[in-house]
Structure 1
Amino acid sequence: MTHPRLHPARPDLAADHLEGIVEAERFVEPVDMQVTAGVTAIRREPRDDGPMDTQALFGETFAVLEERAGWAWGYSRHDGYVGWIDMAALSQSMAPVTHRVSALRTYLFSEPDLKSAPLCLLSMNSKIAAGERDGRFIDAGGRGWVFEGHLVPLGTHAPDFVAVAEQFVGTPYLWGGKESLGLDCSGLIQTALEASGINVLRDTDMQEAEFAERFTAIAVDAPRQRGDIVFWKGHVGIMTDSNRLLHANATFMATVSEPVAETERRAAENDSPVTSVIRIEG
């Protein structure tokens, strides 16, 4: 996809794999770095108050193309999203990940002891390089200890992405968020599907285009069922049954489940009808 948010190219600099495709003053081979903060913002500009477009979770890889005054410009290896990350959240030491967090959230402890000082919170789909076991805790590649009951090996998937999404009910709405303490509508979709073994793009417009190609579109006025994904311009939610929609939204500033008729009524008042309904099967 050539969307600017997924296109690591500027007039002065671009990723080397784009040479011959785009014009830039120079092309650079990315340097992979690993996120070692519990979560970190991918920002549009290299400053602490720069707009946050998305987030990177512990253990994910960020391909760095430029370092500038404590900031790294590049793209996420997870979903291709381009932006700036605070260098303090990254490490050049790469630990191959083996497990992901399956709980809504869990602590990264300083020692294999529930009474030890927590280093940070890890949200669902954070990834660790599992080392030795000590009691009920797993070493996270020398970066702390995680309760083993909150981890599953990579490749172990939740059977029902809707049930995963339902765990986020009550989570505050956060533009650009994809963590258990705050997320937006498309962040909820991406997170729930990843936990179920389906990797998708990040933003609503990207998801709608991608889903139309990968999955089954049904008529917007057709009867709906659990798991159907409903799109509006700039918004998306998941049907939990034939009548209710689960979505992170700015109306309630939270993830809520409500009658889809109410969602559609509010959207219609803003001249925003349903644009597509996608059924994810198989």
Structure 2
Amino acid sequence: MSALDRRLNAFRPDLADERLSGQVEARNFAAGRPARVAVPVLGVLDAPRPDAGLDTQLLAGDTVRVFDEAEGFSWVQAERDGYVGYVSGAGLAPVGDAPTHVVVAPRTFTYREPNMKKGATGALSMGSHVRIVGSASARGTDYALLESGEALIAAHLRPAGEVSGDYVAVAEMLEHTPYLWGGASAFGIDCSGLVQLSMRMTGQGVRRDTDMQAATVGTALGDDPAGLRRGDLVFWKGHVAIMADDETIIHANGHTMMVSREKLAPAIERIAYLYGPPTGFRRA
């Protein structure tokens, strides 16, 4: 059996990514085809069933490589972080022209026209990418126009190439976001999803799951929490928190069921009965 991580490598007994030829055994290999996420949030499941477990989420504008399609599900690998899983095929569309802007507000509405009083048609999460084709103003509010004719609040967007300077400040914007296992959007998020989305907004691409982040993000620190500072990461078995200052963490957690702050010392004591002490600290 291959030692490759199935979360980051697309291979099954019947089919595998052609880039893995010689590394895994499969009856067939395929290059896959590119596609783009065409819905606000697209769940990545661990099996091609509606009741399967949620591993992570993709956001509008994300690109994937599709290796297989059957019974309404597509087996894909995300281009952004390499995650492999099953998504609803209805949530994908041809790649088309590249997005021009990214959503920087925690959440923003799409309106049927550039007039907030005409009603919203949907909502997008921070980190979503969109293609803007025009602009308009109404009653002192500037709007950005989508190819569909729908409108977004222009102040909630920035050009796709621009990034934030402080990933902790991004995480702080997401405080009180509901906790969701496997969540990676501002509608619902888990601990490693918070780290990934916050760092994504500053141009830092990091892996999705806690164990991946504990092995790859930044540099390892010593085992003394007394030396921690803003932006450092605290890892437990299956959990991660961000240092907001030298004694306070911000994290998506199942204790409060939201993104929240608490002092590190009592958090270590509280978490110990489930996860034990911290397993490591890293400077991002």
1:92-132 superposed Cα distances (whole Å, 9 cap, x missing partner): 25231121101111012222222334232110110012212
Distance 2:110 2:50 in 1: 24
Would the alpha carbon gap of residues 171 and 271 (structure 1) be closer, same or farther in structure 2, given more than 3 Å must change?
closer
Would the alpha carbon gap of residues 143 and 174 (structure 1) be closer, same or farther in structure 2, given more than 3 Å must change?
farther
Structure 2: runs of 5 or more not aligned: none
1:126-162 superposed Cα distances (whole Å, 9 cap, x missing partner): 0012212222222234373221111111221111111
Distance 1:93 1:157 in 2: 23
Query: Is 1:217 aligned with 2:223?
Result: no
Query: Is 1:181 aligned with 2:187?
Result: yes
Q: What is residue 278 of structure 1 aligned with on the other side?
A: 282
Shift of 1:249: 0.6
Contact 2:167 2:202 in 1 (8 A): yes
1:22-65 superposed Cα distances (whole Å, 9 cap, x missing partner): 11111112111111111110111112221110001011112111
Of the three residues 142, 145, 153, the one matched with 1:139 is 145
Distance 2:161 2:221 in 1: 30
RMSD after superposition: 1.5
State the SS of the aligned residue for 1:132: strand
**Superposition pairs of residues 85-96 of structure 1, within 5 angstroms:** 85-96=87-98
Distance 1:4 1:35 in 2: 22
State the SS of the aligned residue for 1:226: coil
Distance 2:112 2:75 in 1: 30
Q: TM-score, normalised by structure 2?
A: 0.93
1:183-217 superposed Cα distances (whole Å, 9 cap, x missing partner): 00000000100111111010000111112xxx222
Query: Is 1:239 aligned with 2:243?
Result: yes
Q: Residue type of the partner of 2:20?
A: L
Shift of 1:220: 2.2
Q: What is residue 169 of structure 2 aligned with on the other side?
A: 163
Distance 2:158 2:123 in 1: 17
Q: Residue type of the partner of 1:90?
A: L
Contact 2:108 2:125 in 1 (8 A): yes
Distance 1:53 1:152 in 2: 29
State the SS of the aligned residue for 1:115: helix
Query: Is 1:264 aligned with 2:255?
Result: no
Moved over 6 A (4+): none
Q: What is residue 15 of structure 2 aligned with on the other side?
A: 13
Structure 1: runs of 5 or more not aligned: none
Q: Residue type of the partner of 2:268?
A: E
How many residue pairs align between the two structures? 277
Q: TM-score, normalised by structure 1?
A: 0.94
Q: Residue type of the partner of 2:59?
A: L
